Structure 1
């Protein structure tokens, strides 16, 4: 590292969910393991250990497909509460080395070790020290990307550390051109399939092809390919290719002011063809959005409804919103508007995804009284229901419609982040 540069780590837990389960079951050490629902062949694989990946098992494929590739595969139901607990424990380990620890996801965290590195030697020595401590404490192997910026640390992890036996790699401005720039453009951070195709049409095949362009020239190419509104996106990708990232590591998870509250659900489209079935889930999403709004002490004046439709051959999606005369977080008021929005814009195809959101949030400590509704009484009733759910679980009180076969609220009550706890 150059004198004056920051030293930032991005530490990734290898196959985190699967690693946690294998550490808890030593008898599975030499067995290919994947995380999913073993009772649902059509469910997806959430994570796979290196042994399973070596036999062709991939994340997000169906359980039955994974078992075809690897008949000896052991599929374990996810335990999200345990994974969250272990993730927080690992954060505590990192905080023993520096107070600048920023969670990036459940299995990835940024560390700024600039101020404490002198206690441990080189950056690589410190990385190996942390790896060993996490492994001994949890049974989880970690990979460490090292860089002077967060984007270079992240890139070092994803493109290099994960592929090296020791799991440590440093990517700085001194080896950027040699190590990063020869890689194909699709391996650059935040470049997916559609963006790759745009770059290919512009003649940009490697990360270096982009990085060597002058910013003005790249912006002109982006405008020609993607329109006048692409300047901000062009500057972002140009900076990523050169490892430029002024953002600092921010300690902890800092809850900011809520700008929007939303809730979505992916559905089996083949089961949600009828309006009455779709509206059951729609209402359940509204219930959760309004409950969270009341928890945060806010109301929304804009209601958004989004849906993705498909019958296997045709596909359609829409997102529509409407502004209310006054903000609200009362379930029946939001549900009435959300259902009307959906009915108005639904094409009739089976629905594979639904989203509800409340926008333009304001504090709920004051609200407009009406002649026909006793709003203080309605809010008091809803908050009483919220308290019962907080104490006894989300399924302690359910709307009768959730007892229909189309309802998903009972199943989700036993999950965290859509997965069983």
Structure 2
């Protein structure tokens, strides 16, 4: 039985800024790109969240909801430096640390000698150390596997700890809302609701086969996750699975010729970032004027601009009259074997830190 801790910093970027500017602590604060340059919110503090502001929201919309919102351009080098301090703290308690992003990580403390092996006390001490040394707060979840630890860390946010012992897993998972399972986004939750599924215990009545028919490979994963099953170990060496570039446009575009022109601009940067690594797929991403987005991918072994143009043209048809505000292209890397899809793997939101707005994914 593993003992897993998931540590998640509270509104990390905003918290770092509030640490350096105490006068900002009690006012609505968000980190993001400027509204004039069609920026988006990366994160915001809790006073801002009371106005309904959240990450991935456009800066323009955030300012409409809260006109007195303090919008601060982020400083990624500073946040990375603090993240390295976090990693140093984690390493004191175990060698098995799997960073998910700058501000969260899994820790396997099954064999940790700290506090006679008590994962609860280790988590408490990690949170205490972060507060004392970095003047920042973190929330943590303790559970028998990564899936449940990640869900648990969100239970008592901010600045909280939630412990899920093995004896309580069955009851906790039974009453767990499916939308809380990492990987179940808004659209998947809607599809589950259409099937009459809201909570994990309802999956039993439907069965694994029905989930696979409806969701494909993710259906099998959802069946396992809905029972609290997760055998994945904490991975200290995470493999990068994709490389890509994308750009948010100053103005919406309507014509496919304009999109292809943007693609030609992005392409040399993608080739540079790929650096001759082997690939197994190509993907086009479009974000529409209403902030919904679509992706279209194709298996391939060689980088092909012609294929990218073809996919972009096909994806463009989904706009149905809407303008395009973002164009992106990425490749799936080939590491020699197919890797298991992990539902909670996510890419941290990127936004226009500097004047250039081409960025990597």
Confirm or deny a common fold (TM above 0.5): yes
* In structure 1, C-alpha distance between the alignment counterparts of 2:95 and 2:292, rounded to whole Å: 52
* 1:328-407 matched pairs, under 5 angstroms: 335=305, 338-339=308-309, 350-357=323-330
Please report how far the alpha carbon of residue 56 of structure 1 lies from its aligned counterpart in structure 2 after TM superposition.
3.2
State the aligned residue count. Answer: 341
TM-score by length of 1: 0.69
The 1:8/1:238 distance shift into structure 2, 3 A limit, reads: same
Matched, 1:411 2:344: no
* 1:26-65 matched pairs, under 5 angstroms: 26-38=22-34, 40=36, 42-65=38-61
Matched, 1:281 2:254: no
Could you tell me which residue of structure 1 aligns to residue 221 of structure 2?
236
Tell me if structure 1 keeps the 8 A contact 2:96–2:107. Answer: yes
The 1:287/1:139 distance shift into structure 2, 3 A limit, reads: same
- Structural RMSD (CA): 3.7
* In structure 2, C-alpha distance between the alignment counterparts of 1:89 and 1:177, rounded to whole Å: 36
Could you tell me which residue of structure 2 aligns to residue 222 of structure 1?
211
CA offsets, 1:82-108, max 9 Å, x none?
Answer: 112211220111001111110012211
Residue number among 136, 140, 149 corresponding to 1:140 in the alignment = 136
* In structure 2, C-alpha distance between the alignment counterparts of 1:206 and 1:338, rounded to whole Å: 40
Please report how far the alpha carbon of residue 315 of structure 1 lies from its aligned counterpart in structure 2 after TM superposition.
9.4
Please report how far the alpha carbon of residue 126 of structure 1 lies from its aligned counterpart in structure 2 after TM superposition.
1.7
Q: Which runs of 5+ in 2 are unaligned?
A: 337-353
Matched, 1:171 2:164: yes
Residue number among 256, 259, 274 corresponding to 1:293 in the alignment = 274
Tell me if structure 2 keeps the 8 A contact 1:41–1:64. Answer: no
Please report how far the alpha carbon of residue 77 of structure 1 lies from its aligned counterpart in structure 2 after TM superposition.
0.4
Matched, 1:162 2:157: yes
The 1:51/1:417 distance shift into structure 2, 3 A limit, reads: farther
The 1:345/1:41 distance shift into structure 2, 3 A limit, reads: closer
The structure having more radius of gyration, on CA atoms, is 1
Could you tell me which residue of structure 1 aligns to residue 348 of structure 2?
none
Q: Which runs of 5+ in 1 are unaligned?
A: 329-333, 364-408
CA offsets, 1:244-300, max 9 Å, x none?
Answer: 11111122x4446x7x6433334356246472x434421221111111233xx4366
Could you tell me which residue of structure 2 aligns to residue 264 of structure 1?
246
* 1:79-228 matched pairs, under 5 angstroms: 79-119=75-115, 122-158=118-154, 160-162=155-157, 167-210=160-203, 213=204, 218-222=207-211, 226=214
The 1:68/1:6 distance shift into structure 2, 3 A limit, reads: same
The 1:417/1:220 distance shift into structure 2, 3 A limit, reads: closer
* In structure 2, C-alpha distance between the alignment counterparts of 1:354 and 1:66, rounded to whole Å: 23
Please report how far the alpha carbon of residue 150 of structure 1 lies from its aligned counterpart in structure 2 after TM superposition.
0.7
* In structure 1, C-alpha distance between the alignment counterparts of 2:305 and 2:208, rounded to whole Å: 44
Tell me if structure 1 keeps the 8 A contact 2:211–2:223. Answer: no
CA offsets, 1:34-63, max 9 Å, x none?
Answer: 111345374322111112213432222232
* In structure 1, C-alpha distance between the alignment counterparts of 2:101 and 2:333, rounded to whole Å: 27
Partner SS for 2:235: coil
Higher RCO by CA contacts (8 Å cutoff, separation 6 or greater): 2
Could you tell me which residue of structure 2 aligns to residue 306 of structure 1?
284
Tell me if structure 1 keeps the 8 A contact 2:173–2:228. Answer: no
Tell me if structure 2 keeps the 8 A contact 1:19–1:139. Answer: no
The 1:70/1:356 distance shift into structure 2, 3 A limit, reads: closer
Residue number among 242, 246, 260 corresponding to 2:231 in the alignment = 246
Please report how far the alpha carbon of residue 120 of structure 1 lies from its aligned counterpart in structure 2 after TM superposition.
5.6
* In structure 1, C-alpha distance between the alignment counterparts of 2:37 and 2:289, rounded to whole Å: 21
Tell me if structure 2 keeps the 8 A contact 1:202–1:221. Answer: no
* In structure 2, C-alpha distance between the alignment counterparts of 1:96 and 1:194, rounded to whole Å: 40
